[in-house]
Amino acid sequence: MALLSGRGYHSLEADSLALLGRSLSTVDRPEAIDRLRRVAELFATCGSKWRRDQVLADLNNLGKPGQRAAASCLGPTTLTDRERAAWMIA
């Protein structure tokens, strides 16, 4: 993974990080969530919506912290109208 980082191979880097994140989900949930959140962002960067959505589903299966991480990857589009209005006021 270190060899792929920062070299423009976003898809391959994301694939390797996704595998790591999924394997960490049973032993270190916070680390798995952090890795999978990064993976979702990488897949979004390289335009792979389908793979990003798979990772978001993995995050959603990791409880409330994973669900919050998945929602943060999607940005304000996941907010309700009331939440969006409160966010714009703040």
What pLDDT was estimated at residue 21? 87
pLDDT mean over 64-80:
78
- pLDDT score of 56: 92
* 47 assigned to some structural domain: yes
Which range of residues forms the domain containing residue 29?
A: 10-89
What's 78's DSSP letter?
G
pTM above 0.75, yes or no: no
Residue 6 has pLDDT above 80, yes or no: no
The answer to whether position 20 is within a domain reads: yes
Please give the pLDDT value at position 61: 92
Pairwise CA distance, residues 33 & 63, whole Å: 10
Residue 1 lies in a domain: no
- Which residues, including other chains, have CB under 8 Å from residue 75's CB and lie 6 or more apart? none
